[in-house]
Structure 1
Amino acid sequence: MIRNTARQLRRTLLNWHDQAGKLLHAPDSRLAIVDELTRLEEFLQFYTRGVQRDIEFEFTTFRCEVLQFLREMQLGPAQTSRYAASCDKPTMYAAAFSLLTQKLLGVDLKRDSARWKAAFDQYQCQDDGLFRDPALSNSLFEPSDWWGARHFALIATAAYDAIGEQPAFPLSFLDEFCREGQIEQLVAEIDWSMNSDHDNKIMNIGCLLQYARDRQCNSQAGNAVTRLKSLLLDHLNPHTGLWGEMDLNNPTDLSRAIQFAYHLYPLFLYDNDPIPYPDSLIDNTLATQNPYGGFAPHRNSSACEDIDSIHLLLVASKQTNYRRHDITKAIRRFRTWVFANQNDDGGFVFARQQPFVYGHRQMSSLDNESHLFGTWFRCLSIALAHECEDSIRNPFTLHKSPGYYC
């Protein structure tokens, strides 16, 4: 293991040296070159820490570090958290991220399930079943699907499942999508060139329909899910295992196609439907890994880009032994990279060396600042990596919920 990690670090150093050499011969100003070299040096320091954390990983110690960060984000009871140290208000999103991270780390949440349920129920609106937090109100919250009302509803249902509870009211906003012709219209509106947020919208609505079907006994929701999956399969490319009209020889387009697929496949995975073309999916997903172990064409791959590829590799490898050795190597390289995104306070960043605003000022973080979304998603990606390597010895606690771990 240490020998493999040393080789990986050597490759990274060579790649870094190559980038530095290109900069020295670039026509840019001297100040710009110095600035980029400084950023490269900082990036390498983060990566080196990731190597050390990966080599020294011990679950109990890791668990204590992350839980300490979660406690530092609390603003009172365990159910009340801020998103990051630079935020000053508790939010429903922060509470959900904290709960889901604790679940991953094996914390017994059911003894406080009534408090957790009340913490989320207070935000649910009876008229449509969606959740709204006054601290997060802005013009993006209602229409968006990468963040906002429908997006949080799906995260909330995973949180309720984690504590064995259900929301106070049915998700009645879904009634619209149970009417004749509405699912067909939803699919007809998809931009297959992937220049929109339709993949998140399909995931949010489709997986919430599954939740309504299974937790709230809504048979009409079940019929809508069946139609939705059938229509999506009609658009799946058998040669790639992906959706869309992208140039997969272009690394940026390929990365976007993988992200798009990550948002659609959970509809099938939750219902235990087989992936139609796992070998092609594995080929394309492995091709998104960069020299540092992350899964993006740029060096500081985000938590979303990373987990999209890791999750697809996990579920595809459950159906086939195709390129098993390559998947194992990719997972080992990824583990070093994901730990490079952990800070000394125990939390994780969304993406190294850049600030991040997730829909609202109260869900924003500074350059290299730990926050609850990054911490939850990075911990989940580590858990999925362990599941892919050895599901029997995986120390993390995964639970199955629509749109979550499937």
Structure 2
Amino acid sequence: MPEISLRAEQMPASPIRKLVPLADAARARGTKIYHLNIGQPDLPSPKEGLESLKHIDRKVLEYSPSDGYRSLREKLVTYYEQYQIKLSPEEIIVTTGGSEAVLFAFMSCLNPGDEIIVPEPAYANYMAFAISAGAVIRPVVASIENGFALPPIEEFEKLINDRTRGILICNPNNPTGYLYTRREMNRIRDMVKKYDLFLFSDEVYREFIYTGSPYISACHLEGIEQNVVLIDSVSKRYSECGIRIGALITKNKTLRNAVMKFCQARLSPPLIGQIIAEASIDAPRSYSTEVYEEYIERRKCLIDGLNRIPGVYSPIPMGAFYTVARLPVDDSDKFCAWCLSDFEYEGETVMMAPASGFYSDPECGRNEVRIAYVLKKEDLERALLILGKALEAYNARK
């Protein structure tokens, strides 16, 4: 039988989804699962988007332009203006989710063997996209001890060599919830300018900043406008993960022309998703406010509850809707699997994402998990109780 590709062999399994078979088996046994593993909000999508879906009046569901409908891109220009990001529709390319934006950015900017520096823990799929492009991630590892603050710039500069092509950040961060300060962003800017690197900035969680600190976009950084590639998505801010609409934004015309070749090769972004996304931009401010306030309450519920469990520690996330928590276990991969395969409390269990999958070195984060606070408070409270019972039972086996 022919062998599969080396690329396929190297592609990592998703820490967010790899335990799904165990979850399916647990569900088949009648166990209720509290899903803390995936950033799928349970809050309703804007009624404006849902109504647009109900009232689609088309006789043909056609291809859209490869860079997305201009009407959507024009509305996105207005959306970004509220964050003091000045764009034209031509500087926005609509993609199939933020994932495709990252992949096309890597494919357009990186040659096989090129390196990008990434603060870790980081969104697990970045590694998959880098492998797809033949690129290499060079990690700079942050520590839970200081709340996953950006490591010193000197640690970045130690990794820079002739193959270094860019830096990738996620701000606010998935999986840690860390928010980069103005000083940290300025230091990143200076490094990008000094070494003439690309700055890939994933900013899909800008709506969810809980500290009162200002949102500093990579697009706010002066002097590196041609280096910045902004990654965005409607998935989180409108609870519309399934419509698969994202955006790649850059003022670099040469790069946009390169990205468009990949866009044309995949033909077009989702038609129905664009219709819904465009309508959702018209959602009133009250929608965003209610969603934001709900996540504030959920964050407090989760972090307070985690830090009350003996041996568990979580820093307070400043943005997004995740936290990385340290557990009193030797191997969180085994513990998370055991919660699904061998444990239940009153017919219920929890599903979490082992944090090892958010590091390039799987030996990092061995006693950490990523938890998404995308469930209502009553469910979070119940999940915290079950997690505490699971840790007691797991450690009592020894």
* Between structures 1 and 2, the one with greater strand share: 2
- Give the TM bin, normalised by the shorter chain: under 0.3
Structure scoring higher RCO (CA < 8 A, sep ≥ 6) equals: 2
TM-score by length of 2: 0.25
